[in-house]
Amino acid sequence: MEKSQTLLLISHGDKDDRVPISQSWEVYTALKLLGKKVEFDIYPREAHGWAERNHQLLSIKRNLEWFEKYVKVVPANKTNSVP
């Protein structure tokens, strides 16, 4: 993890029975201790996917914000597009 250059957004349901939330906490804590850029969102009452509509919308919003902040997207040039 010391050589990791990847920014990370961890999203985890606190009722996940496939992947223990403790694993996400371990990754988050290790990266934070190394001074890496990592954020951790916990979704209450959710398992290994979001069932509640408000969590689905929040997750989409958080992911879009993350990409807008950290992934620089260059718009396609309309003159170079294929008809």
Task: Give me the residue spans of the domains in the chain.
Answer: 8-71
Residues 53 and 13: their CA atoms lie apart, in Å, by 14
In 3-state terms, what secondary structure has residue 63?
Answer: helix
Query: For position 55, what pLDDT does the model report?
Result: 98
Residues 55 and 31: their CA atoms lie apart, in Å, by 25
**Is 83's pLDDT higher than 70?**
no
What is the token pair recorded at 11? Answer: 């999203």
Quick: pLDDT tens for 12-70: 999 999 999 999 999 999 999 999 999 999 999 999 999 999 999 999 999 999 998 98
Comparison of pLDDT for 54 and 79, the residue scoring more: 54
**17 alpha-carbon distance from chain centroid:** 19
